[in-house]
Amino acid sequence: ICPRGNGAGSSFLRSDCVTAIPFPFTYDTVELHQMSTTHGRTITDTDITFYMMLTGGWHPVHCDRDFMKKAGLGAVRAQGSFGIAVSLGSHLESSVLEGSDEFVRAMGVEKWEYLRPLVSGDTFHLEVEIVGKDLQENGRDYVISREIRMINQNGDMLQRGIAQSMWRREA
């Protein structure tokens, strides 16, 4: 994957790389297979604890170091749904999927896979690729489908899935 530019919200890639998602994009500028990456973010013990508090998911796999050690499973792990939440969070995607067109609504997530555990200390980034662009019957609204891949500091894919959102072109 190609490095991002260094400007705020920049998603410029080297000329020998896949075309970046335009910043900001419109219906006319976004195309299939354009791709951008986010900056890295490190998962902390606090992240895992706060997410358990939010969800009530206090399984020993997520909060009991002794249980994990005795079971030979290594470090405590974040709930898989933590990856979805943080991947779809506006603080991560705002720089790679911001349109000049009006945002209408999030449409959903599909085919989300948990491939590897999310552990405290992992630093991940997202690779976001446009995999669908569908103009609706009214001729103004369109749905963008993007594959989101969560990659750790070792290049391992942790999670992936497809998220869809609806946008509205100017009249």
156 versus 19: the higher-pLDDT residue is: 156
Cα Rg for the chain, rounded, in angstroms? 18
Average pLDDT (35-59) is 93
CB contact burial 50-77 (16+ within 10 A = b; e otherwise): ebbeeeebeeebbbeeeebeeeeeeebb
Domains of the chain: 35-168 (3.10.129.10)
Average pLDDT (20-46) is 90
Q: How confident is the model over 84-95, as pLDDT tens digits?
A: 999 988 555 655
Tell me what pLDDT residue 19 has. 84
Q: How confident is the model over 112-170, as pLDDT tens digits?
A: 999 999 999 999 999 999 999 999 999 999 999 999 999 999 999 999 999 999 999 98
